[in-house]
Structure 1
Amino acid sequence: MPSADSSVTLVPPCRDSCEYGTLFDDRDGKTYKTVKIGTQWWMAENLNLYMDEFSNEPFDGQSGCLFDNPAYCDEYGYGRYYLWSMAMDSAAFFSDDGKGCGSGVVCNPQKNSRVQGLCPAGWHLPSADEWNILYLATGERAEHLRASHDWQYYPNGPSVFSICDIYGFGALPGNEDRTRVNFLTSYEIDEKYSAGVSISYSGMRVYIDWDYKSYGFIRCIKD
């Protein structure tokens, strides 16, 4: 998976002084908080686009809400999780970048090209390399990206709060025991695997490695 890049500059912690913005998605009227970390602009919230609104056929099982509870997608601010093929916009609703991508096939998006996927216009599904740049820029520590709340087994006492979420990224847990979250990338490995990003409550590293073309959350990055 991505190798260390010595040209990436460490970004000083900026939780209270980061450069924040907003992203308005005119497809469904939602507005997302964004944050600039180093040279990258990231969504500081998970994508929450409900694809059934754009098709006459329901996408049963291809996206969902934590605990199968719509409140987690909306009121609680977790956004939706998506199957990798949907995240890539394999049906080409918004662009042809990831057309035909999915499990059992190799669509071979170019490594350095941008795949819009389900992201709003002007933003794209991050590559594994773009996630690696974020990881390196934020000090190679998972807790620097992890939200300081909602992690079931993470103590979040005063002694550790100061190193949680120090860049305003606010990664929330994405599984039912609230110990881990998986994010999707546009990087395809073969017909079965793509690169996935995993952040856990107990791990110090952000893991960027092979994963099945399965489910995860989406953080879009600006073109």
Structure 2
Amino acid sequence: MRHLVFVKRAMWSFLFLLLIAGCDDGEQALPPPSAEFEASERNIHIWDVVKFNMIPGDNEVDAEWRFEGGTPDHSDVTEPEVLYKIPGEYGVKLTVRNEAGETTIEQQRYIVVNEYDNQYGVLTDPRDEQTYKVTVIAGQYIMAQNLNFDDGKAVHYDNDPDHGEVYGRLYTWEMAVDACPPDWRLPTRSEYAMIREYLGGEYTAGGKMKLPGTDHWEEPNEWATNSSGFSAPGSGGYMPGHLEFYSLGESATYWTKTETIYGNAWSMALMTKNGRMAIQNTTDKSQWFSVRCIKD
């Protein structure tokens, strides 16, 4: 009898151990995390934003992204948005984790970032049927010629209409904010700053925006290549009662839409003596400068 009891106890102990072992095996059999990802676009231009989407498996996971060449260059959200500023081919790496461990998925050369080719389109102003070249810089459609719209007050340099075709007209700030064609407007300070960063920074961007040579600039016209397609001539300025018309071929100043807290307006300026693209906040609104319009 004692022997039978012992056998029964041994059997129950064995079954209990098998049950525990089975549970342990079940925990060990928990599958490692898995995930896939996709991008809203893979072949893009500089300054485009790509949205990434993680497609998780059955298990809840934590995500860690790495974006080569992107801004930001890392993220821990499920659907990050990434800005690419520099041409090239860039990889994406995703690591997912859960209690069972982690899995890393890496795609080399996953995002291809291209330069803009600066091919010109054409804008026809419906108010007077004048046409203007349009280019794309930093993802923005912007006029590649100075505005020449006659609002009844804007002037040509030296009041000479022959200057209009190349240099356009000069406007005060109050006139400039209403001067652009329908669906176009003055660029903001931030938009010109974005263009400047795209073109390499303050001290090199200006040369990439100026027409080269000395047909429309005085010497030395430093660093002028017009590689951006902006095609700025040295259009000068106008200050009635003071300097009158001044600096033709020496400088070009463009209004922005942005006002300062001091009652002035921000402007963007280029000069013949260097390759700088200056963005300045000391411009009196009563001065007369050039206008470029950006697509709204």
TM-score normalised over the length of structure 1: 0.70
The verdict on how the C-alpha distance between 1:197 and 1:69 changes in structure 2, with shifts beyond 3 A counting, is same
Q: Is the 8 A contact 1:10 1:139 kept in 2?
A: no
Kindly state the Cα deviation for residue 37 of structure 1 after the two structures are TM-superposed.
1.7
The structure with the largest strand share of the pair is 2
Unaligned runs of 5+ in 2: 1-70, 72-82, 88-113, 237-246
Residues 205-214 or 20-29, more deviating? 205-214
- Correspondence 1:39-188 to 2 at 5 A: 39-52=139-152, 59=153, 63-74=154-165, 77-88=166-177, 117-140=178-201, 141=204, 142-149=206-213, 150-154=216-220, 164-175=225-236, 176-188=247-259
Q: Structure 1, residues 51-107: CA drift from partner, whole Å, max 9, x if none?
A: 12xxxxxx3xxx211232110013xx211010111112xxxxxxxxxxxxxxxxxxx
Higher relative contact order (CA 8 A, sep 6+): 1
Sequence identity percentage: 26
Q: How many residues align?
A: 172
The verdict on how the C-alpha distance between 1:152 and 1:131 changes in structure 2, with shifts beyond 3 A counting, is same
Q: Give the SS at the match of 2:210.
A: coil
1-structure distance, mates of 2:255, 2:261: 15
Q: Which has the larger radius of gyration?
A: 2
- Moved runs in structure 1, 4+ residues, more than 6 A? 11-14
- Correspondence 1:204-215 to 2 at 5 A: 204-210=275-281, 211-213=283-285, 214-215=287-288
Q: Give the SS at the match of 1:144.
A: coil
| Residue 85 (structure 2) pairs with residue 9 (structure 1) | yes
Kindly state the Cα deviation for residue 177 of structure 1 after the two structures are TM-superposed.
4.3
Kindly state the Cα deviation for residue 19 of structure 1 after the two structures are TM-superposed.
2.7
Q: Structure 1, residues 21-53: CA drift from partner, whole Å, max 9, x if none?
A: 00011100101100012311110001110012x
Q: Give the SS at the match of 2:255.
A: strand
Q: Is the 8 A contact 1:13 1:167 kept in 2?
A: no
CA RMSD of aligned residues (A): 2.1
Equivalent residue letter for 1:222: K
TM-score normalised over the length of structure 2: 0.54
Unaligned runs of 5+ in 1: 1-5, 53-58, 89-116
